[in-house]
Chain A
Amino acid sequence: MRVRVLVRLKPGILDVQGAAVQKALAGLGFTEVTDLRVGKVIEVELQTATADAARARVGEMCRQLLANPVLEDYTIEMADDLARRGAVR
């Protein structure tokens, strides 16, 4: 089972990295950018019987290690959903 985790700073927490990237884009002429936030992608392959089980296990991984609940939110995307969108090969 292939699962993709997106980890990003919670809304309201200043993303200084995102702000710096936005500024750099503005320098390149992309002045239409009004907000930009930088996050992390974590791709996990695991052996579970079902997609639900995989989602549950990865959720547990997020709570225990992959995301810091003080600062970050996460979303879990299953490979099937990603394939439908053409997001995985």
Chain B
Amino acid sequence: MRFGVVVFPGTWSDCDFHYVISEVLHQPVKYVWHRERDLADLDCVVLPGGFSYGDYLRAGAVAGRSPVVEALRDFIARGGYVLGSCNGFQILCEAGLLPGALMRNECLQYRCQSTHLVVDNVETVFSRGLRPGRVLTMPISHGEGKYHADAEALRTLKAGNQIVFRYAEADGRVTRAANPNGSLENIAGIVNPEGTVLGLMPHPERAAETAMGSADGLLLFQSLLGSLVEDGSFLKR
């Protein structure tokens, strides 16, 4: 699977994603500059975290109208996969590729911490190797990660089983205390109706080797690559 990691002015997780894809997963990967419009040679585009365009106006607002994001519309329509993490999630919402929006954290603080995520939907390419209710550990690092959607959009999300990850306790209970930013219904990650575009505030690329405290972020990529076998163990390369 060929990956592209998009780089905007102000992106900061591009190198981390590139490292994980090339050095941990051994997949072909290249950087894609934000002015690029040709994504024809890619299977999965990653929108990494950071502060694209300095978060001017709103987080992800300017990046959400950039040439590469415009090109994503065709890319998605022809079946390409998109993973947006942190600022990448904000960009996907700003571009209208995912519903809702991300607002200032309810606590008004920048939150940089480990979180537990309970898996709600295992019928996406990014979560198909997981069991429903499994708890993953991944860090967050953001000031504007409070997910918001109006009542109708929330109904649609639920009806379409589009909520993939929710902030939870270590045992998987979804509680108010486990919600680091005030997100609606503890939502941490959602997909488009087709399940091919995932946006999440946590950072899978920062939880990709045991030395980093967790390797759970890899599960998203391994689901995508189809390299998880039924009993939950990994196929050996």
In the assembled complex, the Cα of A13 lies from the Cα of B104 at a distance in Å of 12
Check if B149 sits within 8 Å of A70, measured CB to CB. yes
Check if B57 sits within 8 Å of A16, measured CB to CB. no
Cβ contacts under 8 Å, B106 to chain A? 14, 16
Closest Cβ of chain A: how far from B142's Cβ, in Å? Answer: 15
Determine whether A17 belongs to the interface, using a CB cutoff of 8 Å to chain B.
yes
Check if B108 sits within 8 Å of A17, measured CB to CB. yes
> A64 touches which one: B65, B93, B105, B149 (CB < 8 A)?
B65
Q: Is the interface of A mostly helix, strand, loop or mixed?
A: helix
Check if B57 sits within 8 Å of A65, measured CB to CB. yes
Closest Cβ of chain A: how far from B107's Cβ, in Å? Answer: 8
Residue interface bits B129-165, CB-to-A below 8 A is 1, else 0: 0000000000000000000111001000000000000
Check if A66 sits within 8 Å of B57, measured CB to CB. yes
Check if B65 sits within 8 Å of A68, measured CB to CB. no
Residue interface bits B95-108, CB-to-A below 8 A is 1, else 0: 00001110111111
Determine whether A71 belongs to the interface, using a CB cutoff of 8 Å to chain B.
yes
> B148 touches which one: A20, A66, A71 (CB < 8 A)?
A71
> A68 touches which one: B101, B104, B105, B107 (CB < 8 A)?
B101
Cβ contacts under 8 Å, A13 to chain B? 103, 148
**Interface residue ranges, B against A (CB under 8 Å):** 57-58, 61-62, 65, 93-94, 99-101, 103-108, 148-150, 153, 182
